[in-house]
Structure 1
Amino acid sequence: MPSHSLPIIAAVALTFLLAGGVKGMIGLGLPTVAMGLLGLVMPPAEAASLLIVPSFVTNVWQLASGPGFGPLLERLWPMMAGVCLGTWVGAGFLASDASGVATMALGIALVLYAILGLSSARLRVPAGSERWMGPLVGLATGLVTAATGVFVIPAVPYLQALALEREELVQALGLSFTVSTVALAAGLAQHGVFAGALVGMSLLALLPSLAGMLLGQWLRLRVRQDTFRRCFFLGLLALGAHLALRPLF
């Protein structure tokens, strides 16, 4: 960012407090919310750089709390390899875009994610298809990550379609998000974006993120999750539509 003005710092702190709260409530959403809101006030590449440390720490926390990391990694490593490859292939797009295409792509990704979240569709991966679908889904997720800084499409719907147990699913999401965060950080650093002041800002953003997670976990016991999820995805739909249309005007 050209200057770390007080309004920008306040916007970053409030964004990560809210994003951490969403993750504490439903177990995902920190990068999605952070990218969506920060995309209103800064280029997507800078927003993506700020989420690196909060996303990595909170997702490692989520990954470590699951029941069995070894078997899960053995099952999902082809998908994770695809994520790394896709992010590496497209790493220069987010870092070099100055035309508003990345902002539009971010908006479209948020709209698609919101529509999936609001729909009642329940996908299932056919038996025997995981071997070839996993790498393809990982590759697609990596390309979307490289273009938008958001790594939920199509990884989240795919992992939900594997019929994992609840705790296994939470851990699988943590694994996918952790790998995506590391791959995105490497891509941004390779192109000189994740460096200098943005690294320091990303470290500072960890504090409101953790505070938001604790608040979200407290609220999870007091607010109906179905109501919260519906409001979350409706808000995400509106935000995504705004970002997708903004470069056109």
Structure 2
Amino acid sequence: MIDSGVLVAVGLTFLLAGMVKGVIGLGLPTVSLALLTATLGLPQAMALLLVPSFATNLWQALSGGNGRTILRRLWPFLVMATVTVWVGALALTRADPALLSGLLGVLLVVYSAINLAGARVTVPAAHEAWLGPVFGATNGVLTGMTGSFVVPGVMYLQAIGLPRDMLVQAMGILFTLSTAALALALGGSGLLNAELGTLSAAALAPALAGMVLGQKIRGRLSETAFRRVLFVGLFILGLYLTADLFG
């Protein structure tokens, strides 16, 4: 029997995370993972984000009309980002959970700081052939260890200069493949049970409701201001999680 307090916490978390995604087009896995790790623990948080993340990102991956172009250009990056998830997931059953939670905190701090600073890195087209698999493999291992799909994968996609619509769709493809690989890795490690799977499925409804709410807010709120508040919040939460490295 799932505790009612956990149900409420999960519902509110995905409502907020869905709202963030509705406003700025990303952030559902990152926000939900950060909040749930602070309350329930990292392996449980990773399991709970699977269904909402897969469903919302699959829609994003199929929208935009650039799928074939993205796959032709980015397949080495995407393949490595997918097949290496299981390598990182091995750490979930072998490493100290506090260490992995702290690593997630570090990734959140780095990701937030880069966005708040407005830093941009450029990858020349001539180097994509070898940098793509390197960034992909790094992203996959970190996804398996922490459940975070964004570092350094999203930074790489931004750095190669994709147009906005293609960038959004490419992120959707990356997140969808990463979520599927993470589900297989967690199941293979015995960290995904029926109760967590049911709770993850139940979290889809508040996530979708949050997205609808976020889309309505988008028209009334400055996206720049919202992003600033979001990344400041993630930065602070990341600092909180890094305390596990020193606890």
TM-score by length of 2: 0.96
Is the CA contact (8 Å cut-off) linking 2:104 and 2:238 kept in structure 1? yes
Q: Which residue of 2 aligns with 1:159?
A: 157
Tell me how far 1:107 sits from its aligned partner.
0.7
Residue range with higher mean Cα deviation, 51-60 or 80-89: 80-89
| 1:99 CA displacement | 4.2
Counterpart of 1:25, as a letter, is V
Q: 2:54 aligns with which of 50, 53, 56?
A: 56
Q: Percent of aligned positions with the same letter in both sequences?
A: 45
Of 236, 239, 242 in structure 2, the residue corresponding to residue 238 of structure 1 is 236
Q: Distance in 1 between matches of 2:49 and 2:197?
A: 10
1:169 to 156, 163, 167: 167
Match of 1:11 in 2: 9
Aligned to 2:112: 114
- Superposition map of 1:1-249 within 5 A: 4-249=2-247
DSSP 3-state at the match of 1:129: helix
TM-score by length of 1: 0.96
Q: Could you tell me how far apart the structure 1 residues matched to 2:100 and 2:200 are?
A: 20
Query: Are the counterparts in 2 of residues 67 and 167 from structure 1 also a CA contact under 8 Å?
Result: no
**For structure 2, which runs of at least 5 residues remain unmatched after alignment?**
none
Mapped to 1, the partners of 2:130 and 2:181 lie a distance apart of 21
What secondary structure, in the 3-state scheme, does the structure 2 residue paired with 1:39 have?
helix
> Contact between 2:18 and 2:206, CA under 8 Å: does it hold in 1?
yes
Equivalent pair of 2:42/2:97 in contact (CA under 8 Å): no
Partner Cα distance (1:11, 1:70) in 2: 39
C-alpha distance in 2, partners of 1:124/1:170? 18
State how many pairs are aligned. 247
Structure 1 residue 67, shift from structure 2 partner: 2.1
Amino acid at match of 1:153: V
SS in 1 for 2:203: helix
Q: Distance in 1 between matches of 2:134 and 2:83?
A: 11
What is the rounded CA distance, in whole Å, between the counterparts of 1:159 and 1:99 in structure 2? 30
5+ unaligned residues in a row in structure 1: which ranges?
none
Q: 1:75: how far off?
A: 1.1
Q: Which runs of 4+ in 1 moved over 6 A?
A: none
- Give the whole-Å Cα distance in 2 for the aligned partners of 1:168 and 1:99: 36
Q: Taking structure 1 as reference, are residues 14 and 34 closer, same or farther at Cα in structure 2, changes over 3 Å only?
A: same
Q: How big is the shift at 1:66? A: 1.2
CA distance in 1, matches of 2:23, 2:121: 23
* Residue 196 (structure 1) shift: 1.1
Secondary structure of the corresponding residue to residue 84 of structure 2: helix
Q: 2:57 is paired with a residue of what secondary structure?
A: helix
Q: 1-side partners of 2:118 and 2:108: how far apart? A: 18
Secondary structure of the residue aligned to 2:190 is coil
- Separation of aligned partners in 2, 1:98 and 1:131: 35
TM superposition shift of 1:96: 4.5
- The answer (yes or no) to whether the contact 2:2–2:195 under 8 Å persists in 1 is no
**What residue identity is the alignment partner of 1:14?**
L
- 2:50 and 2:218 map into 1 onto residues whose CA distance is 25
Partner amino acid, structure 2, of 1:70: R
Structural RMSD (CA) = 1.2
